[in-house]
C-alpha cells in the first residue's frame, strides 16, 4: 500500500498537470491571476521537483514551469528569489541526469527572455553555469549540453543592457574559441554571440578588441577552410554571417581600424577563397540559392570597401560611403 508521502506526491503531480491545462486554456483571460500567483507557483513546483523520484515526472514539472514563465513574461520578476534559491539546488541535484540539465538550461533561457534587461539579476548563478558548460573538459564529456548552452548565452547577451555592460560577461568568452575550433554545430549562433559583444561593449570595447580579435582571426579562417574542403551546402550562409559580422565591426568602430584590422585583414582572403570554391562547386544551379549567393557577394564587396575607407578616410566620409553602399 502506498504511504501518505506517495499519495501526497501523486496529488501534487496531478495539481501540476492541472496547472498546465489551466495555462493552455485560460491564461489569456486570467493573466493577472497567474502573474499574481507566480511566486507561489514557482516555489511549489520546485518543491514538487525535488520530491519526485523519476526523471520523467521531473521533466514534466520543468516543462510546466517553463511554459508558465514564458506566458507571464516580465511578470516572472516576482519569482526571482524562488528561482535564485531553487535553480542552483536543482542543477547540483541533477548532476548525473543529462536530460534534466538540458531542461534546466531551457528553463533559464525562458527566464532570461522573460526578464529581458532585468536578467542581470541572474548573473550570480547563470554565469558560473555558462562557464562550467563551456569548459573544454565539460564539452568533451557533456557535449549534449552545447546547443542549449549556446541558446542561453545568446539570450543573455541580447537581453543585457548596453550601458553599463557588466565586464563579467567577458569571463565566459574564452569558451567561444574552443567551440569555434571543435564544434560542427551551432556555428551560426557562435557568430551571433561574437557580434553581440561588439554591440554590447560599445565604447568600452578595448578589452575585447585587444584580447580576443587577434585570437579569433585564425579560428574564423580555419572555419572557412573547413566549410569549403569539401564545399558544404551551408557554407554560403555562414560566409554571409561572417561578412555581416565584419561589416558590423567596421561600422561600429570606424576610427579604430588599426585594432579591428587584426580580424578583418586576415579574413578577407579566406572569405574570397571560400566564396570562389562554393561557386566552383555549385555554380548557380538549383542546388544553391542564386539570390543568396549574390547577396553574400554584395556584402563581401561592402566589407572590402569599408576596410579601404576605414584605413584612409575620415569617419564622416566613411559613414557617407557606407550609407551609399546600402542604398
Domain final residue pick, 149, 175, 204:
204
Mean predicted confidence (pLDDT) in 48-58: 85
Residues 85-100 have pLDDT tens digits of: 899 999 999 988 888 9
In this structure, the answer to whether residues 114 and 174 fall within a common structural domain is yes
In this structure, the answer to whether residues 229 and 314 fall within a common structural domain is yes
pLDDT at 151 over 90: yes
In this structure, the answer to whether residues 320 and 222 fall within a common structural domain is yes
pLDDT at 298 over 70: no
Report how far residue 121's alpha carbon sits from residue 279's, in angstroms, rounded to the nearest whole number. Answer: 48
pTM score: 0.79
CA-CA distances (angstroms) from residue 64 to 27, 114, 166? 13, 15, 32
Mean predicted confidence (pLDDT) in 66-76: 85
Structural domain boundaries, residue 261: 206-327
Domain final residue pick, 181, 204, 227:
204
Residues 97-117 have pLDDT tens digits of: 888 999 999 999 999 999 888
Side-chain-side CA neighbours of residue 231 (13 Å): 17
In this structure, the answer to whether residues 176 and 260 fall within a common structural domain is no
Tell whether 71 is covered by a domain. no
Q: Supply the DSSP string of 254-290, one letter for each residue.
A: TT-HHHHHHHHHHHHHHHHHHHHHHHHHHTTSTTS-H
pLDDT at 323 over 60: no
In this structure, the answer to whether residues 221 and 141 fall within a common structural domain is no
Tell whether 55 is covered by a domain. no
Query: What average pLDDT is seen over the chain?
Result: 75
**Residue 270: band (very low, low, confident or very high) from pLDDT cuts 50, 70, 90:** confident
In this structure, the answer to whether residues 198 and 266 fall within a common structural domain is no
In this structure, the answer to whether residues 299 and 271 fall within a common structural domain is yes
pLDDT at 266 over 90: no
- For 62, phi then psi, to 5°, come to -65, -35
Tell whether 193 is covered by a domain. yes
Q: For position 242, what pLDDT does the model report?
A: 79
In this structure, the answer to whether residues 319 and 251 fall within a common structural domain is yes
Mean predicted confidence (pLDDT) in 282-291: 53
**Residue 76: band (very low, low, confident or very high) from pLDDT cuts 50, 70, 90:** confident
In this structure, the answer to whether residues 311 and 232 fall within a common structural domain is yes
Tally of domains in the chain: 2
In this structure, the answer to whether residues 147 and 215 fall within a common structural domain is no
Domain final residue pick, 151, 176, 204:
204
Residues 170-228 have pLDDT tens digits of: 778 888 888 887 766 788 898 888 888 877 765 556 666 666 777 888 888 787 777 66
Q: Which three cell numbers stand for residue 37?
A: 500567483
To which H or E segment does residue 103 belong? helix 98-115
Tell whether 265 is covered by a domain. yes
Q: What secondary structure letter does DSSP report for 247?
A: H
Kindly calculate the radius of gyration of the chain based on its CA atoms and give it in whole angstroms.
Answer: 24
Amino acid at each position: 500500500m502506498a504511504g501518505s508521502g506517495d499519495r501526497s506526491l501523486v496529488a501534487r503531480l496531478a495539481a501540476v498537470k492541472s496547472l498546465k491545462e489551466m495555462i493552455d486554456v485560460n491564461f489569456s483571460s486570467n493573466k493577472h491571476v497567474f502573474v499574481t500567483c507566480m511566486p507561489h507557483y514557482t516555489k511549489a513546483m520546485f518543491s514538487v521537483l525535488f520530491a519526485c523520484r523519476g526523471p520523467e515526472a521531473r521533466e514534466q514539472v520543468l516543462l510546466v514551469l517553463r511554459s508558465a514563465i514564458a506566458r507571464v513574461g516580465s511578470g516572472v520578476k516576482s519569482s526571482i528569489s524562488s528561482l535564485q534559491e531553487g535553480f542552483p539546488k536543482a542543477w547540483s541535484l541533477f548532476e548525473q541526469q543529462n536530460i534534466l540539465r538540458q531542461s534546466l538550461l531551457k528553463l533559464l533561457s525562458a527566464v532570461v527572455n522573460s526578464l529581458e534587461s532585468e536578467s542581470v539579476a541572474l548573473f550570480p548563478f547563470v554565469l558560473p553555469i555558462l562557464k562550467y558548460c563551456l569548459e573544454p573538459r565539460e564539452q568533451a564529456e557533456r557535449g549534449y549540453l552545447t546547443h542549449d548552452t549556446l541558446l542561453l548565452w545568446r539570450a543573455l547577451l541580447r537581453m543585457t543592457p548596453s550601458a553599463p555592460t557588466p565586464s563579467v560577461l567577458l569571463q565566459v568568452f574564452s569558451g567561444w574559441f574552443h567551440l569555434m575550433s571543435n564544434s560542427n554545430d551551432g556555428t551560426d549562433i557562435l557568430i551571433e554571440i561574437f557580434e553581440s559583444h561588439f554591440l554590447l561593449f560599445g565604447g568600452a570595447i578595448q578589452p575585447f578588441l585587444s584580447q580576443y580579435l587577434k585570437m579569433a582571426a585564425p579560428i574564423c579562417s580555419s572555419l572557412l577552410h573547413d566549410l569549403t574542403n569539401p564545399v558544404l551546402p551551408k557554407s554560403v550562409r555562414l560566409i554571409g554571417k561572417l561578412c555581416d559580422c565584419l561589416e558590423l565591426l567596421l561600422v561600429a568602430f570606424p576610427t579604430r581600424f588599426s585594432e579591428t584590422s587584426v580580424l578583418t585583414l586576415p579574413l578577407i582572403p579566406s572569405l574570397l577563397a571560400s566564396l570562389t570554391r562554393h561557386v566552383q562547386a555549385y555554380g548557380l544551379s538549383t542546388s544553391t540559392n542564386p539570390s543568396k549567393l549574390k547577396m553574400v557577394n554584395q556584402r563581401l564587396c561592402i566589407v572590402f570597401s569599408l576596410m579601404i575607407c576605414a584605413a584612409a578616410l575620415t569617419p564622416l566620409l566613411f559613414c557617407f560611403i557606407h550609407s551609399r553602399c546600402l542604398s
